Amino acid sequence: MKTIYIADDGKQFEDEYECINYEFCISHPHLKTIELYDRHGKKLTNPLDDETYFNFTKIIIHSEEELIDLYCAADYTGFSGYYDIKSVGTWIFDKNREKFIKYINQAYIQELSDKYVDELNEFTKEENHEYADNTLCQLLLELGYEDVVEAYKKVFKWYS
């Protein structure tokens, strides 16, 4: 006797696991457009695959829809490292921190720096300290330093 599993679109499988994975991919089409690369620059194609998950060192997320589907894949597979990816963009695995950090090129960093320096120059009074802190925290977030911002938020501030 042989069991055949039929996906919602009619495709047939002999393996239940393959059928379930196939249906998951159909219901999360943005997983196909996520770019994953290993340390040699080789493109990896399946974010649900163990081999992909344990070997990718760079991921490019193009849209919020891709990010949502990536989080669904994390829930489905248990691949918790996908939660390091916080926004659209290019993310690189940092071996020292053992997590993914957002890749930002130097021109973009300078653009952000100029933007926030202009904003900070407007905060000339003592009561503007909180706004200045929020501005600096936003810059740090955009540079990928979520951990620094979280730690700073816990520090007592005399002006609060």
CA distances (Å), origin 151, targets 85, 129, 142, 154: 19, 18, 16, 5
- The structural domains of the chain, with segments of one domain joined by +, span 29-102, 106-153
Strand-pairing partners, residue 56, are: 38
The Cα–Cα gap between 121 and 108 comes to 20
- pTM above threshold 0.75: no
Residue 160 pLDDT grade (very low, low, confident, very high; cuts 50, 70, 90): low
Question: Which residue has better confidence, 38 or 104?
Answer: 38
Among residues 81, 100, 76, 84, the alpha carbon closest in space to that of 28 is found at: 76
The Cα–Cα gap between 115 and 47 comes to 36
Helices (H), the chain: 16-27, 50-55, 64-77, 106-121, 129-142, 146-153
